[in-house]
Amino acid sequence: MSLITRCPVCGTAFRVQASQLAAHSGTVRCGKCGGVFNGVAALVEETDERLALEPSPQLGLFDPRRAGDTAGATVERLPDFLADDPPPRRWAWALASVLALLAIVAQAGYHFRAELAAALPETRGPLRALCRPLGCQVPLPRRAELMSIDSSELQADSRREGLIVLNAVIRNRARFPQDYPALELTLTDEGDRPVLRRVLAPGEYLDPAQSGDLMRQGIAGGAEATLRVYLDTSRTRATGYRLYLFYPT
């Protein structure tokens, strides 16, 4: 239902909707002189008298150019809640978006730094430099499915009774360097039952004089590593063995 309200400043009548008057508790700005008034309190009855109806005052409510249309008219200052909203600070949102994107990229780079260094070897140096102040490292990749034991044998040492020698060749089938894996050696009896199980870390099966450099470099892509380990089995009677590699979690 349309209603009619009259501006108390210039006397201009407007046809308005109840929903328009309900906004902002009925406070509107005159679209003719720019005066602010209560549209509910200024409602008038529609009679046979022809009124010069202007467009709804709501249209002029947020148009600051209408404030000075009528010379000499007293124009009230808009209440704070009716003032125009400030323009969005697009640069602030853009900056926040860029910072958020950089944070996501940094987190992904930190989490996948080993894979990144493997795929792009030239990034290993910069990644290590970035990790140094953070106390982190850039580990070599650990893809056990791309590592294999090409050959192995267990022999008794003729120089000492009860001492056996494990010889094995580990191959890195990946195209990038990988960390040395851990080895699990299980000695078995005649019934293939385990009698001794031992996990060998890289530091235990690599040459002590070179283990530090070897572990930093890893096994090159497509390369192999030969190892020899001496084990004391004087307290067991083993006739067979099982050997497999893995990366500890």
Q: Taking Cα atoms as reference points, which of 31, 10, 9, 11 lies closest to residue 20? A: 31
Tell me the per-residue pLDDT of 206-228, one tens digit each, with 9 for 90 and over: 988 888 889 888 999 999 999 99
Tokens (6 digits) for 67? 């404030």
Q: What would the pLDDT profile of 109-132 be if each residue is shown by its tens digit?
A: 777 777 777 777 777 778 778 788
Average pLDDT of the segment spanning 175-183? 92
Q: Which range has highest mean pLDDT (60-64, 155-159, 212-216)?
A: 212-216
**Spatial contact of 75 and 68, defined as CB atoms under 8 Å apart:** yes
Average pLDDT of every residue of the chain: 79
Torsion of CA 35, 36, 40, 46, to 10 degrees: 10
pLDDT at residue 222, as a whole number: 94
**Displacement of CA 161 from its chain's centroid (Å):** 59
Q: What is the pTM of this model?
A: 0.51
The strand pair at 36-38 and 27-29 is best described as: antiparallel
CB 142 within 8 A of CB 208: no
**70-113 residue pLDDT tens:** 434 464 454 454 445 555 677 888 888 888 888 887 777 777 77
Check residue 114 and give its pLDDT.
73
CA distance 232 to 163: 5
- Distance (Å, rounded) from C-alpha 13 to C-alpha 42? 9
- 144 or 9: which carries more pLDDT confidence? 144
Which class for 180: exposed (0-12), middle (13-18), buried (19 or more C-beta within 10 A)? buried
Give me the residue label for tokens 């008298």.
49
The number of C-alpha atoms within 13 Å of 150 and in the hemisphere containing its C-beta is 11
Domains of the chain with CATH codes:
2-82 (no CATH), 90-134 (no CATH), 144-246 (2.60.40)
- C-alpha to C-alpha distance for 150 and 236, rounded to whole angstroms: 27
Q: Is the pLDDT of residue 52 over 60?
A: no
Highest mean pLDDT among 7-21, 98-112, 192-206: 192-206
Structure confidence at residue 17 as a pLDDT band (50, 70, 90): confident
Cβ(160)–Cβ(181) under 8 Å? no
Core vs surface per residue 119-141: b (16+ CB within 10 A) or e: eeeebbeebeebeeeeeeebebb
Cβ neighbours, 10 Å, residue 51:
14
pLDDT-based confidence at residue 153 (cuts at 50, 70, 90)? very high
Q: How far is CA 247 from the centre of its chain?
A: 27
